[in-house]
Amino acid sequence: MSLSWITRADRLNILPTYVFARLDELKAGARERGIDLIDLGMGNPDGPPPQPVIDSAIAALAEYNNHGYPPFEGTTSFRRSITQWYQRCYGVDLNPDNEVLPLLGSKEGLTHLALAYINPGDLVLVPSPAYPPHFRGPLIAGARIHPIILNAQNNWLIDLQSIPQNVAREAKILYFNYPSNPTTATAPKEFFEEVVSFARHYEIMLVHDLCYAELAFDGYQPTSLLEIPGAKDIGVEFHTLSKTYNMAGWRVGFVVGNADIIQGLRTLKTNLDYGIFTAIQKAAETALQLPDSYVKQVQDRYRLRRDFLISGLSKLGWQISPSKATMYLWIPCPPHSTSTSFAMDVLQKTGVVVTPGNAFGEGGEGYVRVSLIADYDRLQEALDRLSSAGIRYG
């Protein structure tokens, strides 16, 4: 029974409709009809976490003093392992006491950061397309969003010149994410330097999401915002263990960077949660200490799947240049179809699930995102089904 006097808070009504909801209905319908779905929709890595991570979680579970409330700010040893990892990967020094905060996954931290820093009416710069929490978090906090529309001609990079001066002067935060979900774009170090000088000039807080830090190929090494001189004065960077270590269900990530910015998030979070289960922090520590050979193996897996799918799609008319990072392909819809119509058509005719680009904002219209989260037999099956259904580019 629904009671008319129980009304939702306005902040829920502000959120744009979730394209995934309609897709979920169609997926459920297809499953009911017995269709064998090939779900390349979500960025949910297949396969288990590395065995040493599982072993370390099991050992930590067996320790009876690991089961109480964990420290709000994460265990000292996990915070230290994050700073060591940062030094090893990027040559950046961080203070484990105040420049690092473990999170219940980076989505949690990204969204709560918005609540910690945005007042209703504040102006926030967010690229479009973007990972949805980059705009949904600010919207929940009551922000006015200035979308920076990205495009293929500019290699999906933010064109800082396109931001009107009065907007830049008023803006409080800029969210960005390279290597990018969903566009797979990567940004050169000079781009990061330009963003830092732009943000310092206009006094804008930088929030960089380096979720795909290690999923890079062909010799490409992603840049950390914190490598750029002066970035730590004005910015923070988010990381996750979900993707590289297949730990999406474990809910563990972290934010690093400016101590004051992190303190605001910590203050909010001490009122919301009790931090991450200690056994999971132990396992995450083990993950960050794995040898480079593990990461290389993960990179090879996604690179080979990328090449396999690009080659198969080329026979169906798509010309896709290989992305240097992430676990996705970002592919244009055939002419005369929209992101939604194309994704729905593919689902209904083939049982293959892809994500419509407009789920990531208006700038994603005309594209779909394909996750490389299945092995060759399923990817081949997806290609065969597209071919039999006559789905081609052009």
Ligand X SMILES: Cc1ncc(COP(=O)(O)O)c(C=O)c1O
Interface residue list for ligand X (CB under 6 A): 43, 105-107, 131, 177, 181, 209, 211, 240, 242, 248, 253
Least Å distance, CB 44 to ligand X, is 8
Q: Which residue's CB is nearer to ligand X, number 181 or number 278?
A: 181
Nearest approach, Cβ of 136 to ligand X (angstroms)?
Answer: 12
- CB closer to ligand X, 185 vs 347: 185
How many CB atoms within 10 Å of residue 191?
Answer: 18
Nearer to ligand X, 177 or 281 (CB): 177
Q: Which is nearer to ligand X, 61 or 248 (CB)?
A: 248
CB of 32 to ligand X, least distance (A): 27
H or E segment to which residue 25 belongs: helix 19-32
- Our CB check for ligand X shows the closer of 204 and 215 to be 215
> Could you give the C-alpha distances from 147 to 116, 175, 308, in angstroms and in order?
21, 10, 34
| Tokens encoding 136 | 């949904």
Q: Which residues are registered as beta bridge partners of 205?
A: 173
CA angle 285, 289, 290 (to 5 degrees): 120
In the bound state with ligand X, the residue whose beta carbon lies nearer, of 107 and 303, is 107
Q: Is the dihedral of CA 336, 339, 340, 342 positive or negative?
A: positive
Please report how close the Cβ of residue 245 comes to ligand X at its closest, in angstroms: 11
Edge to edge, the sheet with strand 144-149 lists 100-103, 253-257, 235-240, 205-209, 173-176, 123-128, 144-149
When the beta carbons of 105 and 312 are compared against ligand X, the nearer one is: 105
Burial 151-190 (b: 16+ CB within 10 A, else e): eeeeebbbebeebeeeebeebbbbbbbbbbbbbbbbbeee
State the minimum distance, in angstroms, from the CB of residue 251 to ligand X. Answer: 7
CB of 196 to ligand X, least distance (A): 20
Q: Which amino acid is at 183?
A: T
Whole-angstrom distance between the N-terminal and C-terminal Cα of the chain?
50
CB of 248 to ligand X, least distance (A): 5
